[in-house]
Amino acid sequence: MGKKICNRTIILLLLIGILPYAYSQRAGQRVGDIKEKGPLFITSLSFSQGLARIPYTMEEGETAERVDKLNKGISNIAINQFLGYQFNPYVALGVGVNFEYWTVKNGFVPIYLDLRINMMRTRIAPHMYVNFGYANRWFFNSKPYKAANGNASDYVIHGAKSGLMGEIGVGMKFNFAYATGLNLTLFAKFQESTYRYYSSEDGSKPAQNIRPIMVNTDRPSMYIFFGLKAGICF
């Protein structure tokens, strides 16, 4: 089963790389037909996975076992919009906004400055980008949830506050027509926030029936994600 999935994935990646090139050759379009200057808009869909451990400083007396139980890998699904200006075939600068949903029932709306670079002046070319900004927290459900699994006794809230964010990506750009193209990008991002959970000076825990609503401690935390993004340029 795993071998079949792997083979299908390889075939899909080959098709993604070959079809745009074959199309451009058949159309007989020159490199000079690629848009080199003017407004640039990119709409993207991305999926990323957080690290299994969320790094933060342990309190005095906390054990590694409890820290591992509190940490959890988080998936991030986002719609991304870039609005900017392309100054030449290689450099574009603009602003972006994301609408992110984290699978722990909250998310963020980052607004950022975005620099994009095409490394070659060809129809199929490597590209990269880097952005930096600030993300406002939003959520679907503000209640704490079990930290790691169904047997966990700790209730937590991940990404409890707004904070700085940044992202870097490297991938390929496929130009179909004068001003239309497809970006496929691998990226890494960070999100500054806090991790909220229950803590007491004497190590006691609240009664079982109130644990789902009892969180009283915020700890600064850096969330790190790695993922894949696909976008349409026009």
Domains of the chain by start residue, with CATH: 2-233 (2.40.160.20)
User: 81-84 long-range contacts, Cβ below 8 Å, gap at least 24?
Assistant: 81/41, 81/42, 81/43, 81/44, 82/40, 82/41, 82/42, 82/43, 82/44, 82/114, 82/116, 82/231, 83/39, 83/40, 83/41, 84/39, 84/40, 84/41, 84/114, 84/116
Q: Which residue from 132, 126, 125 is spatially nearest to 167, judged by alpha carbons?
A: 132
Provide the pLDDT for residue 176: 84
Report the pLDDT value the prediction gives residue 103, as an integer from 0 to 100: 86
Longest CA span, the chain: 75
Contact between 80 and 229 (Cβ < 8 Å): yes
Structure tokens at 99: 């609408």
- Count of residues making up the chain: 234
213's tokens:
């609503």
What is the pLDDT, as a whole number, of residue 216?
Answer: 74
Contact (Cβ atoms closer than 8 angstroms) between residue 183 and residue 127:
yes
What pLDDT is recorded for position 215? 75
> How many whole angstroms separate alpha carbon 194 and alpha carbon 105?
15
Alpha-carbon distance of 63 to 19, in angstroms, equals 54
Rounded CA gap, 19 and 26, in Å?
Answer: 11
Residue 50's pLDDT is what? 87
Ranges of residues in the chain whose predicted pLDDT is under 70: 1-32, 52-72, 140-141, 147-154, 199-214
Which segments within 23-74 are labelled E, that is strand? Answer: 38-50
Q: How far apart are CA 52 and CA 72, in angstroms?
A: 5
Instruction: Give the CA count within 13 Å in the CB-facing half-sphere of 53.
Output: 9
User: Hey, what amino acid is at 118?
Assistant: N
